[in-house]
Amino acid sequence: MGDVKQYTLDTNIFRYETNPSADHLQKAARVFWNQIRQEMLDGEAVLLVPKEVVRELHIQSFTLSEKENNKIAGLLKLCTEVVPERLSPEIEHQIREMSAYVRSEFKADIGMKMEYGGVSDARILYSAYSEDSILVTANVKDFLLYPLLFKNDEERLYDMKENAFVKIPEDVYSTIHADSVFKGLLQDFFELDED
């Protein structure tokens, strides 16, 4: 990442801003959107939206009010849509396998709720990774693998609910990266990413 921050937005960042029934989450979303608009005006940030998020929002649009859909459309205009060139079923599977392994072996050490996401979450995660950007979500538990793909001192996963970056404790990060199975899975991911 250069001087300009790139934020890749998860589906819920749009939904919580526009959903009147998600009161406390809507407040957190508004704080984020106000902050990010200012960063954009100052030339400090750009917003990216994975094609997968656009697809999810389209599917969800059938159950939303016209007002909500119009608000989402306005927010999407602030973003650049991205599609990773190398995204493949193999990469999606590798991301899910790494997440499942870390959850199975290190969930207690991480000290946070962790899930391995579905295919859609893998696509969103890989979109952020391929753009070398910060992933912004309200569902951190589905994306805790993301900071493990980078050096531990990098701020890569932003929790909209807390309006703060998620940090994996240094000792836990080191333990995970020293694990031979994780190292193998991570190497396989890097090789798939280079193909």
149-159 pLDDT, tens digit each? 999 999 999 99
Residue 1 pLDDT > 80, yes or no?
no
Split at pLDDT 50, 70, 90, the class of 2 is low
Could you tell me where the beta strands, DSSP code E, fall in 113-169?
134-137, 157-159, 164-165
pLDDT of residue 45: 96
Domains of the chain: 5-194 (3.40.50.1010)
Tokens of 42: 């100052």
Average pLDDT of span 154-177: 96
**Candidate from 15-19, 49-53, 149-153, 171-175 with smallest mean pLDDT:** 15-19
pLDDT of residue 168: 94
As a whole number of Å, the CA-based R_g of the chain is 17
Split at pLDDT 50, 70, 90, the class of 165 is very high
C-alpha pair distances (Å), 122 with each of 8, 117, 175? 13, 7, 23
What percentage of the chain carries pLDDT values higher than 90?
A: 84
